[in-house]
């Protein structure tokens, strides 16, 4: 018997998919398996040197050893504003930016600013689990809408019942998309803004993979849409863009009302991002364009290698124009977890079962392009020999 029962919210949560994946990997390693890990989207590239140098210098400045502000240093928020203007051609002042301890933190906390018990959010499936979990922690409920392959894994906003649209306080979007690798164009974001203004809810656009793009594709920002700044908040992350997952740094940008509310939540929960990390982030945002180009080229090489291997293995997939994820269909009659288990047992290849991303993820597995090219070649050979 526990000393004190956890809350109903905690008891109702499944094991977080990546925690479960780490447990499976640890058990396989105990059994002596030689693993190639495509499971968790954690880049294996080093953080660029110019960012490390900025961090080293900032570490030695005594003023950075004190409490930061919860909203972030003005200089970091100004750098985020410059990045948005340079990359997306949108002008948003630093007063419409808040620094985050990684975008996951901001996305999870945003519902606390707006949801009362029983309030509704619109959440896609498959999706990053934090959209639904953040809603749950805030006492809200989620209407789950599907992302279907035949629609390019874009939601059919017209198909969401009007009753749910009218009740909703926020719509979660994520393009480029994790886990499917799908992308959207500006016209889709225009439609999302249209519905948000018609039904009066926030569009919460998770843009963590905005810079991991291939084949000349560049993802749009919802703030490029006329009226987007009135009804949308967009979450950006330095994790994937600059190989800074462990640094925990990102920013939210958009409606001043939404930004102010999120900053108020954060001021009561955390004490902000360590200022030396923010100084490194300023260097990344202001000086990182070449590093981004190099990152894209490296992931595109890996993407093409894995696509060739999946073709030879006879597996069907969406070839991503963005993100470093492959969303691969399981053979008929094989579940996501069975397929992941078969890859682990037969080939020592670790992937994420699609079922961990919601009911519409069943029948898929996700590969993350986070292994070195030499291991990619080995993975190609192992995939060729699969008996599925």
Residue 313, CA distances (Å) to 35, 41, 160, 194, 317 in order: 19, 23, 37, 43, 11
Number of C-alpha atoms within 13 angstroms, CB side, residue 303? Answer: 22
Q: Which residues of the chain carry a pLDDT beneath 50?
A: none
What's the pLDDT at 380? 81
What's the pLDDT at 140? 96
Query: What is the distance between the alpha carbons of residues 139 and 107, in angstroms, rounded to a whole number?
Result: 15
What's the pLDDT at 122? 98
What's the pLDDT at 18? 61
Query: What is the distance between the alpha carbons of residues 97 and 199, in angstroms, rounded to a whole number?
Result: 25
What's the pLDDT at 186? 97
List, in sequence order, every residue forming a beta bridge with 100; answer none if it has no partner: 250
What's the pLDDT at 57? 97
What's the pLDDT at 253? 98
Concatenating the DSSP letter of every residue in 230-273 gives: HHEEEEEESTTTTT-GGG--EEEEE-HHHHHHHHHHHHHH----
8-46+290-384 and 50-288 have identical folds: no
> pLDDT tens for residues 52-103?
999 999 999 999 999 999 999 999 999 999 999 999 999 999 999 999 999 9
* Class for the domain spanning 50-288: alpha beta
8 A C-beta contact, residue 359 and residue 325: no
List, in sequence order, every residue forming a beta bridge with 380; answer none if it has no partner: none
Query: What is the distance between the alpha carbons of residues 255 and 117, in angstroms, rounded to a whole number?
Result: 24
**Contacts (Cβ under 8 Å, ≥6 apart) of 250:** 99, 100, 101, 102, 103, 105, 106, 208, 235, 236, 237, 238, 239
What's the pLDDT at 10? 86
What's the pLDDT at 99? 98
What's the pLDDT at 164? 97
Q: Which CATH number fits domain 8-46+290-384: 1.10.10.10, 3.60.20.40, 3.90.1150.10, 3.40.30.10?
A: 3.90.1150.10
What's the pLDDT at 2? 84
Residue 28, CA distances (Å) to 41, 279, 337, 343 in order: 19, 40, 15, 12
**Contacts (Cβ under 8 Å, ≥6 apart) of 353:** 17, 335, 336, 337, 339, 340, 361, 365, 366
User: Which sequence spans correspond to the domains of the chain?
Assistant: 8-46+290-384, 50-288
What's the pLDDT at 20? 67
User: Is residue 373 within a helix (H) or strand (E), and if so which, with residue range?
Assistant: helix 373-384
**Contacts (Cβ under 8 Å, ≥6 apart) of 199:** 165, 166, 168
Query: What is the distance between the alpha carbons of residues 129 and 143, in angstroms, rounded to a whole number?
Result: 14
Query: What is the distance between the alpha carbons of residues 149 and 51, in angstroms, rounded to a whole number?
Result: 39
């Amino acid at each position: 018997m526990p000393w004190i029962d956890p809350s109903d919210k905690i008891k109702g949560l499944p094991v977080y998919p990546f925690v479960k994946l780490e447990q499976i990997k640890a058990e396989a390693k105990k059994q002596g398996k030689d693993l190639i890990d495509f499971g968790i989207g954690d880049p294996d590239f080093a953080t660029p040197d110019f960012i490390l140098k900025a961090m080293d210098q900032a570490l030695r400045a005594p003023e950075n050893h004190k409490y930061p502000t919860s909203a972030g240093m003005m200089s970091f928020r100004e750098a985020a504003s410059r990045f948005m203007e340079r990359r997306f051609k949108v002008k948003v002042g630093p007063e419409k930016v808040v620094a985050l301890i990684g975008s996951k933190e901001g996305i999870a906390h945003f519902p606390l600013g707006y949801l009362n018990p029983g309030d509704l959010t619109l959440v896609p499936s498959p999706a990053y689990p934090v959209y639904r979990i953040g809603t749950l922690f805030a006492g809200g409920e989620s209407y789950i809408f599907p992302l279907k392959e035949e629609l390019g894994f874009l939601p059919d906003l017209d198909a969401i019942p009007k009753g749910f649209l009218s009740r909703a306080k926020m719509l979660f979007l994520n393009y480029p998309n994790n886990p499917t690798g799908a992308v959207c164009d500006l016209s889709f974001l225009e439609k999302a803004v249209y519905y948000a203004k018609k039904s009066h809810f926030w569009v919460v656009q998770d843009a963590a993979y905005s810079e991991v793009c291939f084949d000349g594709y560049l993802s749009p920002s919802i703030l490029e849409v006329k009226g987007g700044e009135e009804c949308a908040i967009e979450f950006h992350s330095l994790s994937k863009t600059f190989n800074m997952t462990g640094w925990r740094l990102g920013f939210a940008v958009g409606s001043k009302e939404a930004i102010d509310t999120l900053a108020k939540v954060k001021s009561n929960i955390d004490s902000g991002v360590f200022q030396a990390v923010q100084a490194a982030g300023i260097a990344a945002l202001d000086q990182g364009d070449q590093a981004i180009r190099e990152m894209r080229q490296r992931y595109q090489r890996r993407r093409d290698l894995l696509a060739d291997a999946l073709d030879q293995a006879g597996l069907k997939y969406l070839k991503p124009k963005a993100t470093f994820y492959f969303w691969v269909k399981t053979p008929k009659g094989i579940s996501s977890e069975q397929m992941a288990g078969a890859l682990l047992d037969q080939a020592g290849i670790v992937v994420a079962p699609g079922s961990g991303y919601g009911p519409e993820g069943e029948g898929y597995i996700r590969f993350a392009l986070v292994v070195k090219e030499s291991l990619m070649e080995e993975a190609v050979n192992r995939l060729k020999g699969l008996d599925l």
